Amino acid sequence: HSDGTSDLYEITQQVAQLQILPGLTTPAWTYGGTFPGPTLVARAGRRTTVRHRNELPGATVVHLHGGHTPADSDGYPTDLVLPLRGGAGSAPAATACMPAMPAMPCHGTTARSTPGGREYTYPNDQRAATLWYHDHRMGFTGPAVWRGLAGFHLIHDDEEEALRLPRGDRDIPLMITDRSFAEDGSFQYPSSDPALRVPGVTDAYMDGVLGDVVLVNGAPWPVLHTERARYRLRLLNASNARPYRLELHPQPPGGGGLVQIGGDGGLLERPVRHDAVELAPAERLDVVVDFSSYRPGTRVQLVNRFATDTTAMVMRFDISSAQVAPTDDSAVPERLAPVERLDPAKAVATRTFALRQSRSSGWTINGLPYLPGRALARPRLGTVETWRFVTDFHHPVHLHLNHFQVLSRNGRAPGPYDGGWKDTVDLRPAEAVELAVRFTDHRGAFMMHCHNLEHEDMAMMGDFVTE
């Protein structure tokens, strides 16, 4: 529904039987019966209200990733939407603690819970961008997203529409995930119950859960029939822990077939041509591919160069064999959208966050496992700060509330995929990454965390409180 100032969506979180593998059904946790969930389309400056009803057998939390959202709609990890029907896992206090780290104290009593359903309100007061919504329940985000709780939320604005980028059915969001399946077709996720753990699987959990089949928009290795025209592909890595290096195979003549026009926080200043693009969990990359540069009838694979196994194949584009090119009035202009540069010289504070594994507490930030209500930083609204993240392992670091700009990696220039506004940055072993963030508009408690969802569930997360 919509009225003058806002759009209303109603989503029922429910178990659905999906057809993902031939001849088998996969019971999934879904937003509205599908995986991915419905794509919410929003207009910059116009409010979206989403009414979620929880008919799942467990509590959930909804977070809009990349949203500039007031704290009460941001999906604080203990701000639960309790299931409508009681059932396994529905007791709030007992289930809000960490399943993965049974030795950790349970903080479930801090949960603010809502039985049955609740409304989330998103002002969409931000640039056009590819956002996504997903579950964010404390200690359970990994299994909940793995079971299917993820969907796109796109924001459009006038600035972007004036550009004549490919649109309509040539503007395609692609949610890339990896999953493993049991023989009966059900999703296979390592058990969080220590009593049910298989030897060896615990380690697979520690470093993040990887699947052996890549799904694009919920389908294994799909084929998209394309015309010989430009397409905008909004790539999202919604995998729990797997990074990708995506490349077109074959490359178009001359290479540089993936023309990046945007990142997490919307359009770049100028397009960047890549032979391959890297995407850590939760990162988005908007690329334009010109299929008219291939011969009619070419089959182009999108491959993952980080893998040599079954996850090396992502999807295929089968280009129309018609000799006459279709009408395509789209363009990729040399100037896309101005990106205001945050000035690190104006930063009022520099903070360092060390992401480490600690022997006693699992995955931590500055030695501390996640504790709801404990603030690791208290930035003031309206100010710019420099945040340094250091690590000895691989962690995609994500901040809620505001997008940021990557200033440096190990004191040197940012990487090839770090341009523009971002909300997730891939931190590699022995790296120090410096970001500039300006905190704006909304007061309250927000999250910073590793977006390897198992690390997040194992408490590599912290609050920051804007004042």
Note whether 68 binds Cu ion by CB under 5 A.
Answer: no
Could you say which of ligand C2O, Cu ion, none residue 452 binds, taking C-beta under 5 to 8 angstroms by partner kind?
Answer: Cu ion
Alpha carbon of 191 to those of 7, 142, 195, 209: distances in Å?
39, 11, 9, 11
Interface with Cu ion (CB under 5 A), residue total 6
Contact string 128-147 vs ligand C2O (x = CB under 6 A):
------x-x-----------
Note whether 65 binds ligand C2O by CB under 6 A.
Answer: yes
405 DSSP 8-state letter: E
- Angle CA 248–251–254, to nearest 5: 140
CB of 276 to Cu ion, least distance (A): 23
Sign of the Cα torsion 298, 302, 307, 310 reads negative
Nearer to Cu ion, 231 or 421 (CB): 421
Taking the mean position of all CA atoms in its chain, how far away is CA 405?
17
Note whether 63 binds ligand C2O by CB under 6 A.
Answer: yes
Contact string 318-337 vs ligand C2O (x = CB under 6 A):
--------------------
CB of 382 to ligand C2O, least distance (A): 23
Could you say which of ligand C2O, Cu ion, none residue 282 binds, taking C-beta under 5 to 8 angstroms by partner kind?
Answer: ligand C2O
Nearer to Cu ion, 228 or 400 (CB): 400
CB of 53 to ligand C2O, least distance (A): 22
Note whether 153 binds ligand C2O by CB under 6 A.
Answer: no
In whole angstroms, what is the distance from residue 106 CA to residue 451 CA? 22
Note whether 52 binds ligand C2O by CB under 6 A.
Answer: no
Nearer to Cu ion, 141 or 452 (CB): 452
Could you say which of Cu ion, ligand C2O, none residue 422 binds, taking C-beta under 5 to 8 angstroms by partner kind?
Answer: none
Task: Bin 127: left if φ > 0, else alpha if -120 < ψ < 50, else beta.
Answer: beta
List CB contacts of 81: < 8 A, sequence separation 6 or more.
13, 52, 54, 59, 60, 61, 62, 113, 114, 116, 117, 118
Note whether 447 binds ligand C2O by CB under 6 A.
Answer: yes
Note whether 403 binds ligand C2O by CB under 6 A.
Answer: no
Alpha carbon of 32 to those of 9, 18, 134, 151: distances in Å?
11, 12, 13, 10
Do the beta carbons of residue 435 and residue 427 sit within 8 Å?
A: no
Nearer to ligand C2O, 142 or 271 (CB): 142
The amino acid at 377: A
In whole angstroms, what is the distance from residue 222 CA to residue 26 CA? 17
Note whether 137 binds Cu ion by CB under 5 A.
Answer: no
Radius of gyration of the chain (CA): 21
- In this structure, the number of other CB atoms found within 10 A of the CB of residue 169 comes to 8
Alpha carbon of 422 to those of 119, 249, 283, 394: distances in Å?
27, 28, 8, 18
Note whether 452 binds Cu ion by CB under 5 A.
Answer: yes
CB of 460 to Cu ion, least distance (A): 5
**101-126 per-residue burial string, b: 16 or more CB within 10 A, e: under 16:** beebeebbebbebbeebbebebbbbb
- The tokens for 383 are 């100010």
Interface with ligand C2O (CB under 6 A), residue total 10
**Which of positions 265-294 make contact with ligand C2O (CB under 6 A)?**
282
Nearer to ligand C2O, 63 or 179 (CB): 63
Could you say which of Cu ion, ligand C2O, none residue 136 binds, taking C-beta under 5 to 8 angstroms by partner kind?
Answer: ligand C2O
Q: Which residues bind Cu ion (CB under 5 A)?
A: 65, 395, 400, 450, 452, 455
- Contacts with ligand C2O by CB under 6 A lie at 63, 65, 134, 136, 282, 398, 400, 447, 449, 451
